[in-house]
Amino acid sequence: MLRKVLVIILTYILILIRNSHQKQQCNHDIDKQIQTYHYQYKQYFIRNLIKIRKLQQKNPLPPQQIRITTDLSLLDPLQQTNPEINIHIKSLIETSIQYFQNLIKVTPSLSNNIFPNNWPLNCLNITVPQLDYTIGIPNSDLHIYITYIDSNLSNSAQVLASATFCSIDPIYRRPNFGVIQYNIAIMKQQSMTNKIFKDRLEVTIHEILHILGFSQYGMGYWVDPQTNNFYLNSSIITKNITLNNITNPVLISSNVLQTAQKYYNCSQIQGMKLENQGSRGTYGSHWERSVLFNEVMVAETLPTQSFISIFTSALLRDTGFYQEINDNFVYDKMRWGNQKGCDFFNNTCRSSVQIFPEFINDNRTRGCTFENDGYGVRQITFTMDGCTSIGSPTNSICFLEENNSNTSTNSRFETFGPQSRCLQSNLRTLNFNFTDISRCHQIQCANDASYIKIRINQINKEVVCNQENEVIVLDNVLDNIRGNITCPSNFEQFCNYYPICKNYCSSRGICVNGFCICNRGYANDDCSIKCPLFSENGIYQCVQECPIETFADLNTRVCGWCQVGCLKCQSESFCIECDFQFGYRLVQNKCEFLNF
């Protein structure tokens, strides 16, 4: 009876989480009754806390890479109707999983990952298969259902992907089932370029982070490090504060709070700002964009670059779900608001003390973006609390090499590509007269940022910025060039930019701090090489033979992981030697954990 009631509730609140990237915004519309839905399980979790502690005492295994498995069967119709999109979605999922398996370590499940029988079986338009709540998923810590819609309705067509967690494992205390739903109507509108793949990959990572716990409706299930129990009420780690007549929800969990105080250089920060605009699923489920502009978990994304930062890795630690977070896979050199003090955090563009360059507080209508990754016009969006900034359209993004085909590129002496940045410049040929003063130029910074070389490829010349704000004049009739370049006002900040990976990892990997993490079976600096023998799972190199704890999969040409506790195996399910040191014994070619 309980399950039927819960199924009705969950069906009624059909759309749990939505993320719009057509409008560059996240629109997570979650019905109010989801709070009631979660409350139903409060006592269920409390009753299981004793069982949790007992089981964890019997599991001496060190943390291992999180094993994320997927159910792709709901994509099968696409194989006939749109095979290209089918392959595209599967590649997005595979690439995202590779990333999160490097980012997160957990105490591995000792048995199959079973959908808890107290949770509803309907979750964001999917019905949990019977085998998943009876037998479960082998070698899995998190299982994600991948599905799709093809909707051109005005609201749905703005939503590229939706996601939610479907259940929390009561034993290991973490999300163990989730669902991602794509809207292929949007995918049909765009070509499958490497840049589009990168953008959609950022959306997919954003959605998986909601499954992993970044949601106001997931915060109640976070684990309190003081009591080792679930918070059960998100108000314990969130509160509302009012700064400069603007009320924000803030997250006050320990790691996030310390990260915010250190990053902004303000010990008075009471909590990290969460989004204060939008509907119930947007409000409180993302970082506030005015203080953390291009983080992957703000409610609106950019056509330029977004990344998982130290703030989101701190949040993942504070969930209590995960044993280790590898900060080598997050970005820690952000510029927006960094070290700007309490005035920036509290007042942003409304400061009465100073004008922060992150925002446009004067009469300028055009210019370089704050990150110098493109140029465009002054804009305002609903998640910026009324603050304005420069936004760059796709054809003015400096690192996009395809923008070299713009009709005015040569007459403006521009170069687009991974090494290009936006500078205050009005270079043009003698017969043209452009009114704007922003250009994308190829640059090379000294290792110590003491100087910046600027390459003008059209005339095969190089100029050097030796001083900040220096003006370099390039009037030359013979070269058919006139105008000047103003050197950056802060060399160190200008040169500290997010590195771009070659070819965006060829749609076969993800770029992390300038290096490609390739999908299984691929290697090279841009993931362009398909390995002739095997690629090593987790290292992404072509190898002649597979190392210990892996097996050679002859079908995929990948060194796949053996099951937990297995040292040598012929396949994922056929072990020939178990790790007795950690309490495993070999029983019918499977490793069973010894209960002492």
Our answer to whether residue 462 is catalytic in this structure is no
- Of 58, 66, 56, the closest CA to residue 104 belongs to 66
3-state secondary structure 32-71: CHHHHHHHCCHHHHHHHHHHHHHHHHCCCCCCEECCEEEE
The alpha carbon torsion through 331, 337, 341, 342 (nearest 10 deg) reads: -110
- Of 136, 53, 122, 23, the closest CA to residue 383 belongs to 23
3-state secondary structure 374-406: EEEEEECCCCCCCCCEEECCHHHECCCHHHHHC
For residues 238 and 219, is the Cβ–Cβ distance under 8 A? yes
User: Which residue out of 207, 288, 295, 371 is catalytically annotated?
Assistant: 207
Q: Using CA atoms, how far apart are residues 311 and 517, in angstroms rounded to an integer?
A: 21
Which DSSP string do the residues of 453-491 spell out, in sequence order? EEEEGGGTEEEEE-STT-EEE--BTTTTBB-EEEPPS-H
Residue 441 marked in a binding site: no
For residues 467 and 487, is the Cβ–Cβ distance under 8 A? yes
Q: Using CA atoms, how far apart are residues 297 and 444, in angstroms rounded to an integer?
A: 31
Which SS3 state, helix, strand or coil, does residue 239 take? Answer: strand
Distance from the first to the final alpha carbon of the chain: 38
Six token digits for residue 358: 């992150």
Burial of residue 5, with CB atoms counted within 10 A of its CB: 0-12 exposed, 13-18 middle, 19 or more buried: exposed
Which SS3 state, helix, strand or coil, does residue 195 take? Answer: helix
Contact residues for 70 (Cβ-Cβ < 8 A; gap 6+): 93, 97, 143, 144, 145, 146
Which SS3 state, helix, strand or coil, does residue 319 take? Answer: helix
Contact residues for 448 (Cβ-Cβ < 8 A; gap 6+): none
Contact residues for 82 (Cβ-Cβ < 8 A; gap 6+): 184, 188
For residues 537 and 558, is the Cβ–Cβ distance under 8 A? yes
Which SS3 state, helix, strand or coil, does residue 12 take? Answer: helix
Residue 210 marked in a binding site: yes
> What is the pairing mode between strands 68-71 and 272-273?
unpaired
Six token digits for residue 1: 């009876």
For residues 400 and 303, is the Cβ–Cβ distance under 8 A? no
Residue 143 marked in a binding site: no
- Of 315, 280, 285, the closest CA to residue 300 belongs to 285
How many beta carbons lie within 10 A of that of residue 290, not counting itself?
Answer: 28
Contact residues for 554 (Cβ-Cβ < 8 A; gap 6+): none
Residues labelled catalytic: 207
Binding residue numbers for Zn(2+)? 206, 210, 286
Binding residue numbers? 206, 210, 286
